[in-house]
Chain A
Amino acid sequence: MSRVPTQSPGRRVVIVAGWRTPLIRAGGAFAREDAGHLGAAIARETIARSGIRVDDIDEVIVGCAGPPHDQANVGRVIGLRAGVPERVPGRTVARNCASGMEAITSAATCIEAGRGDLYLTLGVEMMSRFPLIMGERLTKFFARLSSARTLAARVATIASLRPSMLAPRIALMEGLTDPISGLIMGKTAEILAREWSISREDADRFALESHARAKAARDAGVMKREIVPHLPLGATPDSHALEHDDAIRDNQTLEQLAKLKPYFEKPDGRVTVGNSCGITDGACALILASEDKARALGLTPLARIRSWSYAGLDPARMGLGPVFAASKALREAGATMDDIGPIEINEAFAAQVLACAKAFDSDAFAREHLERDAKLGTLDMARVNPNGGAVAIGHPVGCTGARIVLTAAHELARSQKELALASLCIGGGQGGAVILERAS
């Protein structure tokens, strides 16, 4: 049985504001942005709309899985670019796919501990900016070249250059591969699909639904509550600010999805690019405060953070992370799945979310893995990702953790229930979950 932290009254953590950019296909309209500028833009907007004074911020915490090479501590860069005073420190936190959630929970930890009262947190990822890396042989070639003293040595070195050495390493692909299990993320989803009997059609149907929900939410204007239009750096004359997530496929059909070849395991795999999360760029900012501070500043909380948890599991089955993490977070909250209204489970892969749903619903799984006598509960899939998820709008790795907490907070406000769950699986074999409570 894990320890259950307690929140002292007044040190309860509330979300007082949160906004995000639209999520834009990598290599697309945001391709000339960088994490520092994009994060700062949404941070400034969130600060302005919240009405807080930047002087009241105790720290800036930014989740980013792959900070730009020239902005190792991108959290500090974002703070300063957002006009946060120089004396306010800033840090970057990483927990792979949960980096944005890590920013939120790090801030919450600080608030509970009384280390500060007001935090600017972000999740940001510029998937477009993951670089191509020189291969090892090419790196060595340049090292030899620079140490070649004589002309002859230089000529000889240059002559040793082979076309094959020019092949770059794709940082994004390598970043999405778990070094412990040696599996790329898609393969872990294939394992889950086989073990939990998720068919190709199940996965495709889920993907279709994700697009349909995202489209409906967009068309109904629901997302205006969280998206701020953004005109990216590098926008050409006559271009316009982007208002919507742009990876949603309006006319997606099951037939189209069925035509796609398996991407990770040919020929029999079930995971295709169509039923996996898209790769997008985006940033999401939330302002967290102690309940007392929020009250003192006259801020209206969006939601209260009731509990949160991270859990570790087999890296090769990392997709089940939400089940492990939700189990712990529910225990800490003293709640059951019956108390939960809206649910966000990040859609890394359609098959992975469906596997999670089956694990939530399995007594055997609960007994074997969750130190529980009975299953967590049957998921009402209508309440899971009601506005679609990463399959439709994409998964900017470091941003998503913050994005799903924001979405869940808004959904909670619309629902009749008292609690909401935001959870995701984390490459490397972890899960993360945050339980939100209606702010009174």
Chain B
Amino acid sequence: MIDVSGLPSPKNAPAVGACVRIERPEKGLARIVLDPPHRSLPVFDLPLLRDLDLALIEIERDTSIKGLVITGRDTRTFAAGADIDAIAALTDRESVARVVEIGQNLFERIDVIGATRPGFTSVAAIGGAAPGGACELALACSFVILCDTKESRIGLPETQLGIVPGWGGTTRLPRRIGLPRALEAILTGKLYPAREALKKGLVDRLCAPEDLLRIAGEVALGRMRLPRRSRGLATLFVDQNPLAAAVIASKAKEQVMARTLGKYPAPLRAIDIAARAARTSTRASFTAEREAVVDLATGPVAKNLIRIFGLSESAKKLKLLPDGKSAPVAAQVGVLGAGVMGRAIASSAAERGAWTRLFDIVPAALDTALIEHRADVAERLKRRKLEKNQAERAIDQLDTTRELIGFARCELVIEAVAERLDVKRSVFQALARQMADDAILATNTSSLSVDAIAADIPHPERVVGLHFFNPVKRMPLVEIVRGARTSPETIARCAAFALALGKTPVVTKDCAGFLVNRLLGPYLDESLRLFAGGIEAGRLDRALLEFGMPMGPLALLDEVGFDIAQHAAQSLHAAYGARMTPSAVLNPLVAEKRLGKKTGRGFYEHTRDRKAKPRLAADLAQIDPAGEARCPVMTDEQIAERAVFAMLAEAARALEENVVASARDLDLATVFGMGFAPFRGGLLAWADTLGARNIVAKLEEISRQSDVAARAGGPERFEPCALLRELARDERTFHGA
């Protein structure tokens, strides 16, 4: 029996042997069923590993068994991989090494039985998702059979969580499907749908769920033969050729470095192991896997990535109604306003299966919306993200109207009309007359108050903010803005809708800028002031990229559009006063209609060619600094700190005011809403590594700097709030109790 003492195990772990059962449907055939009673979705926690060990002991002893099928409790459930929470909890290297070793050895024994018992065949029979550890178990079997259903998914997402597949996956996958495809799977962490998994060679056969156990049994007993996958000469010339493997590995590393700037060690470690997998012994490769997991899992990046994964998973609970059931997802949706936001929201809703009705008074805007939607769907069809019939349905599901009629049956309407209170109120009034009393009226406003919009609408409990970010299809966060009278049911239904769109919801209070824009405001404005104060634009953007932001602040301003940014800054100023005083540097640019990407020029020159990297505009030196004082001499790090601390000071205030429920929510919003360095775990997680006392000291230092001290609102922006001072005094953290 394996020794699990001292390793983390769930509190409700069942009795020994309860998680796995062995069925013997016929002579010579054994079926191992993963069915832990304490998990609705089985994970390879210690009780399951322990019982799998017992089951394998039985198989090893009983030499009459010639065929082994490993399957889940039903054809929609296999297992969700390793116990992520347990891994996150481990801090000592030795424990991690033991957990890795337990899994490696267990799975390897399946392989060993096959090698030592003549005629023995093992088959993984999978329906539903098989990510990570579950996939690694499958790879240890002779054959993998996957149900041809849309729930079926298989892959190795470990690198996305900052570790490498450590239960033999990094070793076995390159041997099975060749190095190039294995690297693609491991580095993207993609969970492949059934057809694609078959094509890539991750699985050997697909079948209907009803046939799964029968066919798996036939294959295990050798009555049905599956072709052995062979890469033919490619095995020799590519996978086992040190030169070819080295070239592939170095190319892959180059791409990873370009994407991550070396902030994420896991993909690099995975490349090293995978590139040697076909040429080294299993034992040596397993040792390399183990060492990598030990280093990575005990390091900060994996902890942060796993934490964020956990946060995004718990955001899914927002869709639960007060009675604990999941809120229904709106099947009929209305969107008002076919501007950039409205039409993208409508298109996403239609693509994700809601009957969607889009209103605008401008016919051409509706035409553009339909044409863009159809082009998007055609693109997704081309990339095989959608089947033909799904694409046709997605196209059918978006209708447009020039009149505000026909919304009676919508369960949810999202308005994205002009940012004017009177306009928004009048469309909601008109809708309230034709829609059901419990139909949700959501506003995508970014600068108006939800309560003000809801003021005289009948049944204000169904009025809510649903704040999407631009570009809607790429930005994963949705802020659900709770007005003073918004009901919990409305929040849950909005969360269910956001989740159905593949977004991560976070609930915020109804304050100016809500959360993300409120934080972005000082961050972008501070960046503009650095630029105006003489910091070279390219250096500024690079400094923040280096910090871990997904794009530099000036590049982001180009994406957002200067007019939009200016408007947002002004409304923050109006709401929060001095500390949000906007820099004047954009004013002349807006006046001459130089607005960023949408006009072709901002801080960068944008060409129509999508692949071309935008270049810095040549005339940046001529931009008027708008009276900004010269910045002192700063290091790149100090530049990044200035911008990020402006945001951090505001985040502390927002938390103090309960704009979001917790520091966890705030971190989630920063990562998903602005791409705040995921490897740092979110803004406040990063702040906690610095310590409140250091933060206060740093903020005070910044506000004393000559350029900050000299300008209106400068010291106020960097003034530590009461919460921050309290944390510093008590030596507590944002995330501490």
**Known A48-B357, A231-B400: A241·B405 in contact at CB below 8 Å:** no
Instruction: Tell me the A39-84 residues at the B interface (CB within 8 Å).
Output: 40-41, 44-45, 48-49, 51, 53-54, 81-83
A229 sits at the interface (CB 8 A): yes
Q: How far is the CB of A242 from chain B (nearest CB, A)?
A: 10
Q: For A41, list chain B residues within 8 Å (CB).
A: 396, 399
Q: How far is the CB of B476 from chain A (nearest CB, A)?
A: 28
Instruction: Tell me the B404-457 residues at the A interface (CB within 8 Å).
Output: 405-409, 434
Complex-state Cα separation, A428 to B72, whole angstroms: 63
When the two chains form the complex, which single residue of B366, B374, B434 contacts A241, counting CB atoms closer than 8 Å? B366
Q: How far is the CB of B388 from chain A (nearest CB, A)?
A: 12
When the two chains form the complex, which single residue of B367, B371, B399, B434 contacts A44, counting CB atoms closer than 8 Å? B399
B219 sits at the interface (CB 8 A): no
Which residues of A come within 8 Å of B, CB atoms? 37, 40-41, 44-45, 48-49, 51, 53-54, 81-83, 229, 231, 233, 235-237, 239-241
Docked-complex contact A83 and B408, CB < 8 angstroms: no
Complex-state Cα separation, A236 to B374, whole angstroms: 10
Docked-complex contact A51 and B374, CB < 8 angstroms: no
Q: How far is the CB of A190 from chain B (nearest CB, A)?
A: 43
Q: How far is the CB of B394 from chain A (nearest CB, A)?
A: 12
B402 sits at the interface (CB 8 A): yes
User: Can you spell out 5 A-B residue pairs with CB atoms less than 8 angstroms apart?
Assistant: A48-B357, A48-B401, A48-B405, A237-B375, A240-B364
B395 sits at the interface (CB 8 A): yes
Q: For B407, list chain A residues within 8 Å (CB).
A: 48
Docked-complex contact B367 and A241, CB < 8 angstroms: yes
Q: How far is the CB of B679 from chain A (nearest CB, A)?
A: 40
Complex-state Cα separation, A33 to B60, whole angstroms: 63
B300 sits at the interface (CB 8 A): no
Complex-state Cα separation, A237 to B372, whole angstroms: 8
B119 sits at the interface (CB 8 A): no
Complex-state Cα separation, A54 to B332, whole angstroms: 11
Docked-complex contact B367 and A239, CB < 8 angstroms: yes
Query: What residue of chain A has the Cβ atom nearest to residue B403's Cβ?
Result: A49
Q: For B408, list chain A residues within 8 Å (CB).
A: 48, 51
Docked-complex contact B406 and A49, CB < 8 angstroms: yes
Q: How far is the CB of A55 from chain B (nearest CB, A)?
A: 10
Docked-complex contact B370 and A235, CB < 8 angstroms: yes
Instruction: Tell me the B345-379 residues at the A interface (CB within 8 Å).
Output: 355, 357, 363-364, 366-367, 370-371, 374-375
Docked-complex contact B406 and A48, CB < 8 angstroms: yes
Docked-complex contact B371 and A237, CB < 8 angstroms: yes
Docked-complex contact B363 and A241, CB < 8 angstroms: yes
Docked-complex contact B370 and A231, CB < 8 angstroms: yes
Q: For B397, list chain A residues within 8 Å (CB).
A: 83
Docked-complex contact A45 and B370, CB < 8 angstroms: no
11 more A-B residue pairs beyond the given contacts A49-B405, A81-B393, A240-B363, with a C-beta to C-beta distance below 8 A: A40-B396, A45-B399, A48-B401, A48-B405, A48-B406, A51-B409, A82-B396, A83-B355, A231-B367, A231-B400, A233-B395
Docked-complex contact A51 and B434, CB < 8 angstroms: yes
Q: How far is the CB of A264 from chain B (nearest CB, A)?
A: 40
Q: How far is the CB of B365 from chain A (nearest CB, A)?
A: 11
Per-residue CB contact flags for chain B residues 641-676 toward chain A (1 = under 8 Å, else 0) read: 000000000000000000000000000000000000
Q: For A49, list chain B residues within 8 Å (CB).
A: 405-406
Complex-state Cα separation, A231 to B402, whole angstroms: 13
Closest 7 CB pairs of A and B: A48-B406, A51-B408, A49-B406, A81-B396, A83-B355, A231-B370, A240-B367
Q: For A81, list chain B residues within 8 Å (CB).
A: 392-393, 396
Complex-state Cα separation, A37 to B355, whole angstroms: 14
Docked-complex contact A231 and B371, CB < 8 angstroms: yes
**Known A37-B396, A41-B399, A45-B399: A51·B370 in contact at CB below 8 Å:** no
Q: For B405, list chain A residues within 8 Å (CB).
A: 48-49
Docked-complex contact A51 and B406, CB < 8 angstroms: yes
When the two chains form the complex, which single residue of A45, A83, A229, A236 contacts B363, counting CB atoms closer than 8 Å? A229
Complex-state Cα separation, A53 to B406, whole angstroms: 11
Complex-state Cα separation, A37 to B332, whole angstroms: 19
Q: How far is the CB of B284 from chain A (nearest CB, A)?
A: 57
- Most chain A CB within 10 A, of B332, B400, B405, B407, is at B400
Query: What residue of chain A has the Cβ atom nearest to residue B332's Cβ?
Result: A83
Q: For A54, list chain B residues within 8 Å (CB).
A: 409
Docked-complex contact A45 and B406, CB < 8 angstroms: yes
Query: What residue of chain B has the Cβ atom nearest to residue A40's Cβ?
Result: B396
Complex-state Cα separation, A229 to B366, whole angstroms: 11
Complex-state Cα separation, A51 to B410, whole angstroms: 10
Complex-state Cα separation, A239 to B366, whole angstroms: 11
Complex-state Cα separation, A236 to B368, whole angstroms: 10
Complex-state Cα separation, A48 to B409, whole angstroms: 7
**Known A45-B399, A83-B355, A233-B395: A239·B363 in contact at CB below 8 Å:** no
Q: For A48, list chain B residues within 8 Å (CB).
A: 357, 399, 401, 405-409
When the two chains form the complex, which single residue of A40, A45, A239 contacts B371, counting CB atoms closer than 8 Å? A239
Q: How far is the CB of A38 from chain B (nearest CB, A)?
A: 11
Complex-state Cα separation, A233 to B405, whole angstroms: 23
Q: For B374, list chain A residues within 8 Å (CB).
A: 233, 235
Query: What residue of chain B has the Cβ atom nearest to residue A234's Cβ?
Result: B374
Q: For A40, list chain B residues within 8 Å (CB).
A: 396
Q: How far is the CB of A10 from chain B (nearest CB, A)?
A: 25
Q: For B367, list chain A residues within 8 Å (CB).
A: 231, 235, 239-241
Complex-state Cα separation, A107 to B355, whole angstroms: 26
Query: What residue of chain B has the Cβ atom nearest to residue A49's Cβ?
Result: B406
Q: How far is the CB of A166 from chain B (nearest CB, A)?
A: 30
Q: How far is the CB of A43 from chain B (nearest CB, A)?
A: 10
Q: How far is the CB of B352 from chain A (nearest CB, A)?
A: 15
Q: How far is the CB of B364 from chain A (nearest CB, A)?
A: 6
Q: For A237, list chain B residues within 8 Å (CB).
A: 371, 375
Q: How far is the CB of A84 from chain B (nearest CB, A)?
A: 11
Complex-state Cα separation, A231 to B366, whole angstroms: 9
Complex-state Cα separation, A231 to B338, whole angstroms: 15
Q: For A233, list chain B residues within 8 Å (CB).
A: 374, 395
Q: For B370, list chain A residues within 8 Å (CB).
A: 231, 235
Q: For A239, list chain B residues within 8 Å (CB).
A: 367, 371
Q: For B355, list chain A residues within 8 Å (CB).
A: 44, 83
Complex-state Cα separation, A106 to B577, whole angstroms: 69
Q: How far is the CB of A120 from chain B (nearest CB, A)?
A: 14
Q: For A229, list chain B residues within 8 Å (CB).
A: 363, 402
Complex-state Cα separation, A237 to B370, whole angstroms: 10
Per-residue CB contact flags for chain B residues 384-396 toward chain A (1 = under 8 Å, else 0) read: 0000000011011
Complex-state Cα separation, A54 to B355, whole angstroms: 12
Q: How far is the CB of A39 from chain B (nearest CB, A)?
A: 11
Query: What residue of chain A has the Cβ atom nearest to residue B375's Cβ?
Result: A237
Complex-state Cα separation, A240 to B369, whole angstroms: 11
Query: What residue of chain B has the Cβ atom nearest to residue A228's Cβ?
Result: B401
Query: What residue of chain B has the Cβ atom nearest to residue A50's Cβ?
Result: B406
Docked-complex contact A235 and B363, CB < 8 angstroms: no
- Most chain B CB within 10 A, of A41, A49, A53, A83, is at A83
Q: How far is the CB of B650 from chain A (nearest CB, A)?
A: 41
Q: For B357, list chain A residues within 8 Å (CB).
A: 48
Instruction: Tell me the B6-58 residues at the A interface (CB within 8 Å).
Output: none
Q: How far is the CB of B521 from chain A (nearest CB, A)?
A: 35
Query: What residue of chain B has the Cβ atom nearest to residue A51's Cβ?
Result: B408
Q: How far is the CB of B434 from chain A (nearest CB, A)?
A: 7
Query: What residue of chain A has the Cβ atom nearest to residue B399's Cβ?
Result: A44
Q: How far is the CB of A42 from chain B (nearest CB, A)?
A: 10
Query: What residue of chain A has the Cβ atom nearest to residue B357's Cβ?
Result: A48
Complex-state Cα separation, A270 to B131, whole angstroms: 75
Docked-complex contact A53 and B409, CB < 8 angstroms: yes
- Most chain A CB within 10 A, of B367, B395, B401, is at B367
Q: For B395, list chain A residues within 8 Å (CB).
A: 37, 233
Q: How far is the CB of A314 from chain B (nearest CB, A)?
A: 44
Complex-state Cα separation, A303 to B439, whole angstroms: 31
Complex-state Cα separation, A189 to B371, whole angstroms: 43
Q: How far is the CB of B572 from chain A (nearest CB, A)?
A: 36
Query: What residue of chain A has the Cβ atom nearest to residue B364's Cβ?
Result: A240
- Most chain B CB within 10 A, of A81, A231, A235, A239, is at A231
Docked-complex contact B406 and A235, CB < 8 angstroms: no
